[in-house]
Amino acid sequence: MINLDKILGLPILFDEKNLDLKFDGDFAPMRKTERSLGELAPFLKNPNIKEGPDPVYRVWRGVYLKSEEEKVKNSGLRLDLVVMPPGKIDDEFVKTAGHYHLSCPETYFILYGRAYILMQSYNENPKAIKSARLTEAGAGERVFIPRDFGHNTINVFDEPLLFATLVDENVVDDYESYKNMHGASYYFLDNGNLVDIVKNPNYDSVPELKKIRAEKENAGVWRNWNTRTLQERMDESH
């Protein structure tokens, strides 16, 4: 069990073997969801695949202690936790479905493992990608997702991945563009000891990837942030 208290500032234990979280404190009710293989299928390179990790990943939405409810509500932000296994679905590495939220930025804190975070944006046609960015981030690092960018997370490594996301509590996620394109603008494919990053042919146009470095950041800082802080920090990093 990995104790997240010093990392995240919340009394949570991460069971990396069973890919689960244990909440030790008096937490407010939260919503736990699991993305099944069947639900992820439309976002895959091969949507007819029947074998792979199932569920593919787990999400806990709206994580906070009851004693801090007023502070969290006043911040206007929502903290979510996501657990992903290592592994592959056919020749694709395990990934999240991907979505856009055009009205607000988001930040990721990697708590355990390593992740590839793929960001993309478009002008008017979601099949014509304007910008594609890739960040590799590990535990103790933070990645900002600008407004107007979609994003998904890929685990190409041989260990579980746990990360926190911080976003406006009123955010609306748009999954349809990713679903219609069978995933993000790039696929991450297993090629023995290599990772092949190939363009998704369902898009009309995809630019070359621009690599963006992650930044060191203690995930516990989220406790003092609000929606304005999130936007200001994102502006500083870009």
Q: Which residues contact 131 (CB under 8 A, 6 or more apart)?
A: 119, 120, 121, 149, 207, 210
Lowest mean pLDDT among 19-28, 121-130, 200-209, 223-232: 223-232
Task: Centre a 10 Å sphere on the Cβ of residue 185 and count the other Cβ atoms it contains.
Answer: 27
Task: Centre a 10 Å sphere on the Cβ of residue 129 and count the other Cβ atoms it contains.
Answer: 23
The arithmetic mean of pLDDT across residues 153-168, rounded, is: 95
- Residue 31: left (phi > 0), alpha (psi -120 to 50), or beta? beta
- Specify which residues 157 forms β-bridges with: none
Q: How confident is the model at residue 231 (pLDDT cuts 50, 70, 90)?
A: low
Q: Most confidently modeled of 43-57, 152-166, 211-225?
A: 152-166
- Give the model's pLDDT for residue 27: 95
Q: What is the pLDDT of residues 27-37, one digit of tens each?
A: 999 999 999 99
Closest C-alpha among 21, 16, 50 to residue 36 = 50
Q: Which residues contact 53 (CB under 8 A, 6 or more apart)?
A: 37, 85, 87, 89, 94
The arithmetic mean of pLDDT across residues 35-48, rounded, is: 95
221 or 207: which leads in pLDDT? 207
Q: Can you tell me the distance from the alpha carbon of 90 to that of 51, in angstroms, rounded to the nearest whole number?
A: 7
Q: Can you tell me the distance from the alpha carbon of 143 to that of 184, in angstroms, rounded to the nearest whole number?
A: 18
- Give the model's pLDDT for residue 221: 82
Respond yes or no on whether the N-terminal peptide bond of residue 55 is cis (omega within 30° of 0).
yes
Which of 3.30.450.20, 2.60.120.10, 1.10.3720.10, 3.40.50.170 is the CATH number of 2-237? 2.60.120.10
- Give the model's pLDDT for residue 201: 97
Q: Which residues contact 33 (CB under 8 A, 6 or more apart)?
A: 58, 59, 61
The DSSP element (H or E) to which 178 belongs, if any, is helix 176-180
Q: Can you tell me the distance from the alpha carbon of 206 to that of 210, in angstroms, rounded to the nearest whole number?
A: 12
153 or 174: which leads in pLDDT? 153
| Sheet arrangement for strand 20-23 | 2-3, 12-15, 20-23
